[in-house]
A = this chain, B = another copy of it.
Amino acid sequence: MTEERQQRIASVLSKRQVNITVVLDNVFDPHNISAVMRSCDAIGIQEIYVLTNMVPKHKKWGFRSSRSASKWLDVHQFTDTQKCFEQVRSRYSTILTTHLSSNAVSLYNLDLTRSVALVFGNEQYGLSEEVRALADGNFVIPQVGMIQSLNISVACAVTLYEVFRQKTVAGHYDLPQLKSEHCNELSNQWGLYDKNLF
């Protein structure tokens, strides 16, 4: 590995966040999952949760493609809702869903600097009742247009960049957050990928 490449990996790892994750509840379209992963990588999310108990389990999201972010993330796949959320709950203080409901608050009124898991649902059916019941709150992305929905990858990106904006102001990117053990492990793993491809 060249020194430049080593520095690049170290720089990215120094920005990875420990108190923010994304949970995808039965998102169907692999393109949407790929787009979500790219947005996660872009703002420094290291681990995400992919729950599939109502849609087929996903394969490796084009791991070999230079544009696939799955190789830069720890992706936890679950087929059991309770087990998935047990793990999420053990690692994150607050679980927030996004679906239309009367008790939803605006994305821009959330404190996204705290420890939080953000849950996005299926393109057509949204979130299951079971998942809603496991969450602590619900938010919406405000909209003033005729069409009252956003594509899931767009909704996720808008949400994650509000996370990024708030965390930047709060200084969360100023100091490394990953444990050194995890960091070394990722550094070794990423170093093995062909630098000409990725």
Footprint of B on A, CB under 8 Å?
A: 8-9, 12, 15, 35, 38-44, 66-67, 69, 72, 108, 141-147, 150-151, 153-154, 157-158, 161-162, 164-165, 168, 173, 190, 198
Contacts and interface: CB of A to CB of B under 8 A. Distances in A.
Given A42-B141, A44-B144, A142-B168, 5 more contacts: A12-B145, A43-B143, A66-B147, A153-B154, A154-B154
B150 A12 contact: no
Contacts of A151: 35, 38, 153
Contacts of A142: 164, 168
A143 B141 CA distance: 21
Contacts of A42: 141, 143-145, 147, 150
B198 A146 contact: yes
Contacts of A44: 144-145
A68 to B, nearest CB: 8
